[in-house]
């Protein structure tokens, strides 16, 4: 009798969830994922295409819409996709990380369903399996404000997605072989690509985008590369920064902008110069010699319909040698402010919008390091180098067999004395639901790091050189820091973020550098709803693929009820 009652409650609550979803429109996509052969930096090579396209199709939607992507895996390797920056409220099931999802097997399809709840801004998707990201398979996600919500700038004439990346000529499987060998890293990229272009500034490229004189365009940039921070600029045109990773910003003009791995931002550019062709130039940062690539932007009407090629003189990159380059870049980070009066979907509906007045309940200091384990290169956070498990962590937890797969809190909340002693094991932190946490990323290494946290946006309150101490808290930006989903940490520096663990799920915190991520510089944060309520987390989707030790286990009764 009691059991029946519980079941019917579960049924009712399921209806409840479905009804809530139905209020918002659905957007459907069908993706065919295949291998293709493209010549992106002058050499034909294997790439991953989606519906025959490189980059993949743009997901264009509005706040709160439900996105349904039916992915057909037509390559001969298992694959997964993640949605970088999409918070997946109550729904880490759709995050597409090996710690949550069993990969989509070759010849099969899987349908991702998620809602872009309370979000606006620029995001992207990419494959998270193997080193597939090195072959492409990525694309843009644009989330617009809902129709009646005012946007703090005039509606642009058009939007252009610009996915920029460092690029290697070796195939993803050859690169994987190098990393699996454990003797060396990926070294230098062969070039830079801007969508599918890698112009050399010789005036020979077809235009990437066309602008009408006098009109204003929104360019949404994302750095989808593997290893390199990039700097973007236009010949003879300023960029008005309007959005960073889901927050409207105070609108300052920049002549060039640094975009680190995994980061996205939007700028407005007005076609107010002499009508001709211009270059968009992308430079690598913090490495010598600097690489560059160009893409041509055309004005639609030039005098007499003639094409006037861009000036061959490229505007110079900002200072590229540390420490000047780092000081320049930190200054630019400090100039980014959130527009506090712009209306848009709020990042943290639970009230951490006034984040400056919330008490911090936990401080997690995380330091990166590189070393070798059994003679092979590994990367670690506080000395733990994460290793994916055959049974996804989330599934092990859900089926009640977590203890057979991983151990919680093997990483401590502060760096060990000896960062060079690295242990390889699954790295899972136990987060407490609704804790307001401070995470300090510490970088005593020589290379820049860029981190991404799934499931949350966070306030990026400080980036400073030197070593962090509690005294630094008085210099945090506690008023108008940008709420975003990734942050860079310069060599010999630290960065501080604040966020509320108000989204139950199993969430990935990762170095966005592909080789570091692949070789262990990542972890998962398990945040469980203490009330086991569907208001806090959705149940496992009905047709969720199972693998590892849970593959043949009976599905447990729904963990969450309506109460
Ligand atoms: C791509 O095509 C070129 C010639 O069109 C061929 O030489 C090369 O082997 C192909 N590469 C792959 C990875 O299929
Ligand atoms: C993207 O969505 C927005 C908002 O719905 C719409 O105004 C715009 O035309 C769409 N863009 C494309 C290229 O479909
Ligand atoms: C696979 O695609 C078919 C046809 O579109 C669809 O009916 C089915 O639900 C999909 N299967 C999964 C697991 O998503
Ligand atoms: C901030 O947003 C408001 C409201 O949309 C807008 O009027 C204002 O111009 C914006 N301020 C800046 C500095 O961008
Ligand atoms: C851009 O790269 C080319 C080599 O591809 C180099 O010759 C040129 O000097 C670079 N330009 C700038 C401004 O750095
Ligand atoms: C935050 O902490 C201070 C000092 O410990 C305390 O006085 C205050 O009541 C706390 N505020 C909240 C909202 O808990
Ligand atoms: C995780 O943290 C919660 C709250 O602090 C605690 O109740 C729970 O026992 C912890 N779980 C593990 C496995 O450490």
CA pseudo-torsion sign 29, 32, 35, 39: negative
Number of domains in the chain: 3
pLDDT in tens, 455-486: 999 999 999 999 999 999 999 999 999 999 99
Q: How far is the CA of 526 from the centre of ligand 7 (A)?
A: 10
Q: For 277-298, what is the mean pLDDT?
A: 95
pLDDT in tens, 393-415: 999 999 999 999 999 999 999 99
Q: Are residues 187 and 331 in the same domain?
A: yes
Provide the 10 A C-beta neighbour count for residue 245: 25
Higher local confidence (pLDDT), 18 or 41: 41
The values of phi and psi at residue 10, to 5°, are -60, -45
At 344, the pLDDT band (50, 70, 90 cuts) reads low
Pocket test for ligand 3, best of 111, 540, 542 (most atoms within 8 A of CB): 111
Q: Are residues 331 and 360 in the same domain?
A: no
Higher local confidence (pLDDT), 340 or 103: 103
pLDDT in tens, 501-533: 999 999 999 999 999 999 999 999 999 998 888
Give the pLDDT confidence score for residue 351 in this predicted structure.
47
Give the pLDDT confidence score for residue 343 in this predicted structure.
66
Q: Would 342 be classed as within a structural domain?
A: no
pLDDT in tens, 144-185: 999 888 899 999 999 999 999 999 999 999 999 999 999 999
21 has pLDDT over 70: no
Write the CB contacts of 477 (distance below 8 Å, at least 6 apart in sequence): 459, 461, 462
Ligand nearest to C-alpha 68? 3
Q: Is 247 in the pocket of ligand 4 (CB under 6 A)?
A: no
Q: Are residues 207 and 274 in the same domain?
A: yes
Q: Are residues 185 and 113 in the same domain?
A: no
Q: How far is the CA of 21 from the centre of ligand 3 (A)?
A: 20
> Residue 172: helix, strand or coil by DSSP?
helix
Q: Are residues 188 and 326 in the same domain?
A: yes
335 has pLDDT over 90: yes
> CA–CA separation, 410 vs 408, rounded Å?
6
Of 90, 121, 144, the position where a domain reaches its end is 144
User: How much of the chain exceeds pLDDT 70, in percent?
Assistant: 93
Give the pLDDT confidence score for residue 19 in this predicted structure.
41
301 has pLDDT over 90: no
Q: How far is the CA of 346 from the centre of ligand 2 (A)?
A: 21
Half-sphere exposure of 499 (CA within 13 A, CB side): 29
Q: How far is the CA of 379 from the centre of ligand 7 (A)?
A: 27
96 has pLDDT over 80: yes
Relative to beta strand 216-223, strand 158-167 is parallel
Q: Which of 2-11, 148-157, 225-234, 325-334 has the lowest mean pLDDT?
A: 2-11
pLDDT in tens, 345-374: 665 544 456 888 999 999 999 999 999 999
> Residue 248: helix, strand or coil by DSSP?
strand
Write the CB contacts of 440 (distance below 8 Å, at least 6 apart in sequence): 363, 364, 365, 366, 468, 494, 495, 496
Q: Would 433 be classed as within a structural domain?
A: yes
Q: What is the largest CA-CA distance in the chain?
A: 84
Q: Which two tokens stand for residue 291?
A: 């690489």
Predicted TM-score (pTM) of this structure: 0.94
Q: For 255-261, what is the mean pLDDT?
A: 98
Of 284, 305, 335, the position where a domain reaches its end is 335
Q: Is 46 in the pocket of ligand 1 (CB under 6 A)?
A: yes
Q: Are residues 298 and 177 in the same domain?
A: yes
Give the pLDDT confidence score for residue 556 in this predicted structure.
86
Q: Would 238 be classed as within a structural domain?
A: yes
Q: Is 408 in the pocket of ligand 7 (CB under 6 A)?
A: yes
Q: Are residues 137 and 163 in the same domain?
A: no
Ligand nearest to C-alpha 218? 2
Q: Would 184 be classed as within a structural domain?
A: yes
Q: Which domain holds residue 511?
A: 353-550
Give the pLDDT confidence score for residue 3 in this predicted structure.
36
Q: Are residues 191 and 109 in the same domain?
A: no
User: How much of the chain exceeds pLDDT 90, in percent?
Assistant: 86
Of 109, 144, 179, the position where a domain reaches its end is 144
> CA–CA separation, 474 vs 477, rounded Å?
9
Q: Is 105 in the pocket of ligand 3 (CB under 6 A)?
A: no
235 has pLDDT over 80: yes
Nearest ligand 4 atom to the CA of 151 is 5
Q: Is 70 in the pocket of ligand 3 (CB under 6 A)?
A: yes
Q: Would 17 be classed as within a structural domain?
A: no
Distance of CA 91 to the CA centre of its chain: 17
Q: Are residues 475 and 366 in the same domain?
A: yes
Q: Are residues 331 and 361 in the same domain?
A: no
126 has pLDDT over 60: yes
Write the CB contacts of 92 (distance below 8 Å, at least 6 apart in sequence): 100, 394, 454, 455, 503, 504, 505, 506, 507, 537
Q: Are residues 201 and 128 in the same domain?
A: no
559 has pLDDT over 90: no
Q: Would 479 be classed as within a structural domain?
A: yes
Q: Are residues 200 and 79 in the same domain?
A: no
Q: Would 329 be classed as within a structural domain?
A: yes
Output the average pLDDT for the chain. Answer: 93
Q: Would 14 be classed as within a structural domain?
A: no
At 562, the pLDDT band (50, 70, 90 cuts) reads low
Q: How far is the CA of 194 from the centre of ligand 1 (A)?
A: 22
Residue 97 sits in a domain whose CATH number is 2.60.40.420
Q: Is 42 in the pocket of ligand 5 (CB under 6 A)?
A: no
Q: Is 292 in the pocket of ligand 5 (CB under 6 A)?
A: yes
Q: How far is the CA of 358 from the centre of ligand 5 (A)?
A: 49
5 has pLDDT over 50: no
């Amino acid at each position: 009798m009691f059991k029946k009652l519980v079941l019917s409650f579960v049924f009712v609550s399921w209806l409840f969830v479905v009804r809530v979803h139905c209020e918002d429109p659905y957007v459907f996509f069908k993706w065919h994922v295949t291998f293709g052969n493209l010549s992106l930096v002058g050499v034909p090579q294997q790439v991953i295409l989606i519906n025959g396209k490189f980059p993949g199709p743009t997901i264009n939607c509005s706040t709160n819409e439900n996105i349904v992507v039916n992915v057909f895996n037509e390559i001969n390797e298992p694959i997964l996709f993640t949605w970088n920056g999409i918070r997946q409220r109550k729904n880490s099931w759709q995050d597409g990380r090996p710690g949550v999802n069993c990969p989509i097997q070759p010849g099969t399809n899987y349908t991702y369903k998620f809602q872009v709840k309370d979000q606006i801004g620029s995001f992207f998707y990419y494959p998270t399996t193997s080193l597939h990201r090195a072959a492409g398979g990525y694309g843009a996600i644009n989330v617009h404000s809902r129709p009646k919500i005012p946007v703090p700038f005039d509606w642009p004439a058009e939007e252009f997605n610009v996915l920029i990346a460092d690029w290697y000529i070796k195939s993803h499987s050859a690169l994987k072989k190098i990393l699996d060998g454990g003797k060396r890293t990926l070294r230098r990229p062969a070039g830079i690509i801007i969508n599918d272009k890698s112009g050399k500034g010789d005036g020979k490229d077809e235009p990437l985008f066309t602008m009408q004189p006098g009109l204003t365009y929104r360019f949404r940039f994302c750095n989808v590369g593997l290893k390199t921070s990039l700097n973007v600029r236009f010949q003879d045109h300023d960029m008005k920064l309007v959005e960073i990773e889901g927050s409207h910003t105070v609108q300052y003009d920049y002549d060039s902008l640094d975009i680190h791995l995994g980061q996205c931002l939007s700028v407005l550019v007005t076609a107010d110069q002499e009508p001709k062709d211009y270059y968009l130039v992308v430079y690598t940062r913090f490495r010598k010699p600097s690489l560059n690539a160009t893409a041509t932007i055309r004005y639609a009407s030039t005098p007499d319909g003639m094409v006037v090629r861009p000036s061959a003189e490229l505007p110079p990159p900002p200072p590229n040698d540390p420490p000047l380059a780092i000081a320049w870049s930190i200054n630019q980070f400090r100039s980014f402010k959130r527009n506090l009066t712009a209306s848009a979907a709020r990042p943290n509906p639970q009230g951490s919008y006034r984040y400056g007045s919330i008490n911090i309940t936990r401080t997690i200091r995380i330091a990166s390091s590189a070393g070798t384990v059994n003679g092979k290169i590994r990367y670690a956070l506080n000395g733990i180098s994460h290793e994916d498990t055959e049974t996804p962590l989330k599934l092990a937890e859900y089926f009640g067999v977590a203890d057979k797969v991983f151990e919680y809190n093997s990483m401590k909340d502060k760096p060990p004395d000896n960062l060079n002693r690295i242990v390889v094991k699954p790295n899972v932190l136990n987060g407490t639901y609704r804790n307001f946490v401070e995470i300090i990323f510490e970088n005593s290494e020589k290379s820049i790091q860029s981190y991404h946290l799934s499931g949350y946006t966070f306030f990026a309150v400080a980036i400073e050189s030197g070593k962090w101490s509690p005294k630094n808290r008085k210099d945090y930006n506690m008023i108008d820091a940008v709420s975003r989903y990734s942050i860079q940490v310069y060599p010999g520096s630290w960065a501080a973020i604040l966020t509320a663990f108000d989204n139950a799920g199993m969430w990935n915190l990762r170095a966005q550098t592909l080789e570091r991520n692949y070789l262990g510089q990542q972890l998962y944060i398990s945040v469980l709803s203490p009330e086991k309520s569907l208001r806090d987390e959705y149940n496992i989707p009905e047709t969720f693929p199972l693998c590892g030790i849970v593959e043949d286990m009976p599905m447990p009764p729904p963990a969450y009820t309506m109460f």
